[in-house]
Structure 1
Amino acid sequence: MSSSSTGLRILANARTALAVAGGIYAVALGLMAVPYFQSHALYLNAIRLPFFADFDAPERYGLALNKTFNFKIQTVDNETLGAWFILSESFYQSLPSHDTTPKPYIEHALRQRKTILFFHGNAATRAFKARIQHYSAFSSRLNVNVLAVDYRGFADSTGSPSEDGLVRDARAAYEWLISSGARGEDIIIMGHSLGTGVSARLAAQLSREELPYRGVVLMSPFSSITQLLKTYNMLGMIPLIKPLTIIPYAFNFVTWALIHKFDTLSVIPQIKGKVLIAHAENDWDIPYTHSEILFNAFLDPLLPSVDIPSDLVSTTKEDWSAFTAQIAARKAQRENIVTTTRMANFGVMEEFVDRGGETTVGGERIRGGEYWAAGQPGGGSPREREVIFVKMLEGNHDYVGVQEGLQDIIGQKFGLLPSVPSLTPPDSAAPGNSPEVDVGGSATSEAATSEAGGWSPTTGISAGADWPGPVAKIVG
């Protein structure tokens, strides 16, 4: 056989393979328009790692003897959620014995220690190894209790997952903590990956209802499922949906068919508590640019607007000068507001305090601090909101929260660890210097925060008051 015939045969086989791959790709996208397949692809709740988990025996997965209480939480729509309550390490060590269930000590633990309400990502269960590492790290290094919940349709929870359903699950978990003795100001809402969409919506919901929480931590978040699809690469290399963006209207089909949106970007104006966003540069699943978008969305109302010329061809010299001046003013204001701390071999932290920037509500431009009072009976006073973004060098996607450097920052920012003096460069008092700190370890600079490290409403509920609305119950 001649070399030319062999080359033609290889080319024909390659075309066939590409055609088959293209057909499979088209069929897969078509299936994603079907709600059943779309839900399973997003939540992956059928992957219940570890398989055949014994949730009554958390010790089998690395947690200490009788440190964890396995139980069920009931939601307002009558689903039951599998949950673990893990005692903080110092409280656990103070118990007279480790031979009995921790159930009788839960109320006392909630009053003695802060609590992280943890919402995990898609797939697997609360007993998954990476999640166990988070519980252990938080309960020991941060000295907090941890409540970990499996959403409806996951692990031993009933029902099927949906966006609204997962938010109801999150609210049920929050209300269980309150009904069991926790103060809202002592609850840190924390989400990872998919759980960041749940956490953001819960925080926005509580904020609208003027209910207290200490703050929210978003680890490896996405700005929205729509934007995630545009940037998602399988194994960090193979784009999933991006090829469609070059075909006119093709991506519109995907967004039209999307029923689970988790649009965190849209609820940002409603979150009034302290926010910490954390992402690793080496995250293959969700690019850290999603966190940059979220951080900038919190910051944007505080910066001067920029009028982008509608037609660059007909733009006059005066218009161009005004445009460049607006960009310069915006950059200068950002440098004035945002404090940057560079930590050698760890990453960069940016932070600012929102003392009432402007935002748009109902077509009206209003001060950000006044936004929190909008729609509230009798109004309310403007509140400060601290926003922190930690971009780490390492952590991949699943292990951001187990980085001790991040744990220390969370501990300091949310008042879980003893405060440290602010690190101020010797020449910071000189006029014209940007508020940037460069440190050689895992220490951080502290922005001005309240002693509690969180937000509580001016019309909040006292610790002894009756809790309004439906209360989640232990049913098992």
Structure 2
Amino acid sequence: MSTDIAGSGILTKARTALTIAGGLYALALGLIAVPYFQSHTLYLNAVRLPWFADFDAPERYGLALNKTYNFKIQTVDNETLGAWFILSESVYQALPSHNVMPKSHIAHALRARPTILFFHGNAATRAFKVRIQHYTAFSSRLNANVLAVDYRGFADSTGSPSEEGLVRDARAAYEWLINSGAKGEDIIIMGHSLGTGVGARLAAQLSKEELAYRGIVLLSPFSSITELVKTYSVMGALPLVKPLTMIPYAFNFITWALIHKFDTLSVVPQIKGKVLIAHAENDWDIPYTHSEVLFNAFLEPLLPNVDIPSDPVSTTKEDWSAFTAQIAARKTQRENLVTTTRLPNFGVMEEFVDRGGESLVNGEPVRGAEYWAAGRPGGGAPWDREVIFVKMLEGNHDNVGIQEGLQDIIGKKFGLLSHTRPNLPLPIMSAPPMSAPASIAPESDVGGSDLSEAGGWSPLPSASERGEWTGEITKVID
């Protein structure tokens, strides 16, 4: 009798615990549907790690003495963004003294070395430890300048975050580089996590306006916020919304309530620069399948279509044969286009060159390799666009960009590991500091001004002229 009572008590407690857990789960999902809570959950901009950061003293967080310039960028809608410009290692080490503020050397640095325009993920600030590790690696191992920006509502930036607002922030940062002396073809857009949605929108915008950039790197990207919500698991083990799929229309409510889309998949057809996607298999936050989806989306226009039978039951033998033949042709074409390289103890790299694929230009279909020639006076030589996907064994979610193996691939693919220009003379130490461009207020270093002086798109130089790695991999490395 006592055993039955004890067993009944345990069941009662279990039901109570499940009821409470279910209630909390429903409450959490309900709060996510509220725009205020949804924004704070997505951006986590209130988590300003490290707390009370002194952005005027980047040396306190591991960067070299006077290697980093702390300043503000003004956006077109009058928000002020905190930013760091980190000098490339070759420029920094060539300075006559490290006791001089870096601002006066920015123009020279932009002429001497390419610049990585870095967009970080959610939460924390540009002084967060793992982000410092990225800047250090990019400026030292890749010998690139780095511009790191805190979005509106983050760190010491004004305003509140929104999808359109973050894209305006990205454009302001790009324009600050242009106005400060950088050439578009020397700017590499790089985003991590949330920053991939921001960087992809910027790349699509620049492509549409035919403004130059060297390419884009997506570290641990998601295909869209909607798909991320579908696949997200807490600590990689507890699915966030999968239980809702068992309730009719419940998940549709969640997706309907999303006000922040960051639909990178939808802008894939608009991105015309070189693309490198990197993801770790052990990423618990964003599954690497998101990167596979994005890579396949870039590849899709180059593959033959497959006509899926609308009614498999009534499909004739001839129709079925045609269907299977289309699948075989598609598989063969993919194998012919994509080069797969297995890198021992590191991962797998897949890559292809887009010499075809259709895009719409002024409503007219244009083959991908001819895109940049379309609508330009005198046309121009077609430019082949390379797309690379690196799936790594390690790196988790936050540490993908600091893997040296990936840095080497980025360096080779984007021409960062060799000097592509003769060394430029250093500025004379007695010369006055760099004056701000006419469109930039002396005190605020404004981005978002007119870009007419930057000119339109001109095809990038050939790989050999850029000093890029041009050798083709013809076999799988084991």
Q: Same fold, TM exceeding 0.5?
A: yes
Q: Displacement of 1:364 after TM fit?
A: 7.2
Tell me the equivalent position of 1:172. 172
Cα deviation for residue 356 of structure 1 reads 1.8
| 1:246 Cα deviation from its structure 2 partner | 2.2
Please tell me the residue identity of whatever aligns with 2:235.
Answer: L
Q: Give 1:222's aligned residue.
A: 222
1:25 corresponds to 2:25:
yes
TM-score by length of 1: 0.87
List aligned pairs for 1:301-380, cutoff 5 A. 301-358=301-358, 366-370=366-370
Structure 1 residues 42 and 106: alpha-carbon distance in aligned structure 2, compared to 1, 3 A threshold: same
Greater alpha carbon shift after TM alignment, 59-68 vs 303-312: 303-312
* Superimposed CA distance per residue, residues 223-271 of structure 1 (whole angstroms, 9 cap, x where no aligned partner): 0000000000111111111211222111111111111000000000001
Residue among 422, 436, 441 paired with 2:471: 422
**Following TM superposition, by how much is the alpha carbon of 1:436 offset from its aligned partner in structure 2, in angstroms?**
3.8
Find the residue that maps to 2:213 and give its secondary structure. Answer: coil
In the TM superposition, residue 423 of structure 1 has moved relative to its aligned partner by 6.4
Deviations 1:369-407 (A, max 9, x none): 455566778877643211000001110000000000000
Are the counterparts in 2 of residues 423 and 437 from structure 1 also a CA contact under 8 Å? no
Is the CA contact (8 Å cut-off) linking 1:48 and 1:123 kept in structure 2?
Answer: yes
Query: Residue 438 of structure 1 corresponds to which residue in structure 2?
Result: 477
Q: What is the alpha-carbon distance in structure 2 between the residues aligned to residue 53 and residue 338 of structure 1?
A: 45
Deviation at 1:437, TM superposition (A): 2.4
TM-aligned CA deviation for residue 421 of structure 1: 7.2
The within-5 A match list for 1:183-262 is: 183-262=183-262
- 2:102 match: 102
* Alpha carbons of structure 1 residues 17 and 50: separation in structure 2 relative to 1, 3 Å: same
Identify the residue that residue 433 of structure 2 maps to in structure 1. none
Report the Cα distance in structure 1 between the residues aligned to 2:208 and 2:231, rounded to whole angstroms. Answer: 31
Instruction: Give the aligned residue type for 2:76.
Output: V
User: Shift in Å at residue 300 of structure 1?
Assistant: 0.4
* Aligned 8 A contact 2:413 2:469 in 1: no
Q: Which residue of structure 1 aligns with residue 392 of structure 2?
A: 392
Q: Give the CA RMSD over aligned residues.
A: 1.8
Shift in Å, 1:366: 4.9
- 2:67 aligns to what? 67
Instruction: Give the 3-state SS of the residue equivalent to 1:142 in structure 2.
Output: coil
The DSSP-based 3-state class of the residue aligned with 2:21 is: helix
| 1:52-93 deviation digits (Å, cap 9, x = unpaired) | 111011001000011001000000000000000000111101
Q: Secondary structure at the match of 2:477?
A: strand
**Structure 1: which 5+ residue stretches go unaligned?**
425-434, 440-476
TM-score normalized with structure 2 length? 0.86
Contact 1:356 1:383 (C-alpha < 8 Å) held by counterparts:
no
1:145-168: CA deviation from partner (whole Å, max 9, x where unpaired): 000000000000000000000000
Structure 1 position 112 matched with structure 2 position 94: no
> Partner residue of 1:55?
55
Provide the residue aligned with 1:265 in structure 2: 265
Aligned-residue offset at 1:106? 0.6
Aligned to 1:383: 383
Question: By how many angstroms is 1:314 displaced?
Answer: 1.6
Q: Deviations over 1:413-460 (max 9, x none)?
A: 001114557365xxxxxxxxxx54215xxxxxxxxxxxxxxxxxxxxx
Structure 2: which 5+ runs fail to align? 419-467
Q: Which residue of 1 is the match for residue 437 of structure 2?
A: none
Distance 1:378 1:242, change over 3 A: farther
CA separation in 2, counterparts of 1:289 and 1:413? Answer: 23
In 2, distance between residues paired with 1:310 and 1:22? 40
Tell me the percent identity.
Answer: 81
Question: Structure 1, residues 4-60: CA drift from partner, whole Å, max 9, x if none?
Answer: 111111111111111111111111111111111100000000000001111011001
CA distance in 2, matches of 1:171, 1:361: 22
CA distance in 2, matches of 1:251, 1:389: 31
Q: Which amino acid aligns with 1:306?
A: V
> Any idea what SS the aligned residue of 2:191 has?
strand
List aligned pairs for 1:27-46, cutoff 5 A: 27-46=27-46
Paired position in structure 2 for 1:403: 403
Counterpart of 1:288? 288
Partner of 2:132 in structure 1?
A: 132
Query: Taking structure 1 as reference, are residues 185 and 60 closer, same or farther at Cα in structure 2, changes over 3 Å only?
Result: same
CA distance in 1, matches of 2:415, 2:269: 24
CA distance in structure 2 between the aligned counterparts of 1:185 and 1:347, rounded to whole angstroms: 29
CA offset at residue 360 of structure 1? 6.9
Question: 1 CA distance for matches of 2:472 and 2:394?
Answer: 24
User: Does the 8 Å contact 2:115/2:186 carry over to 1?
Assistant: yes
Distance 1:377 1:20, change over 3 A: farther
Measure, in 1, the Cα distance between the counterparts of 2:41 and 2:470. 47
C-alpha distance in structure 2 between counterparts of 1:8 and 1:379, whole Å: 81
Which moves more between the two structures, 146-155 or 30-39? 30-39
Give the distance between the partners of 1:38 and 1:294, measured in 2 at CA. Answer: 25
Q: Structure 2 CA distance, aligned partners of 1:51 and 1:377?
A: 53
CA distance in 2, matches of 1:333, 1:269: 20
Mark the CA change 1:2 to 1:373 in structure 2 (over 3 Å): closer, same or farther. Answer: farther
Give 3-state SS (helix, strand or coil) of 2:313's partner: coil
SS at match of 1:401: helix
Q: Answer yes or no: is the 8 Å Cα contact 1:270–1:372 preserved in 2.
A: no
SS at match of 2:76: coil
Structure 2 vs 1, CA of residues 376 and 239 (structure 1 numbering), >3 Å: closer, same or farther? Answer: farther
Q: Secondary structure at the match of 1:438?
A: coil
1:379–1:262 CA distance, 2 compared to 1 (3 A): farther
Partner of 1:90: helix, strand, or coil? helix
- In structure 2, relative to structure 1, the CA distance for the partners of 1:66 and 1:6 (3 Å cut) is same
Q: What's the CA shift for 1:368?
A: 2.9
Provide the residue aligned with 1:156 in structure 2: 156
- Distance, in Å, in 2 between the alignment partners of 1:378 and 1:109 is 33
Pair 291,254 (structure 1): closer, same or farther in 2 beyond 3 Å = same
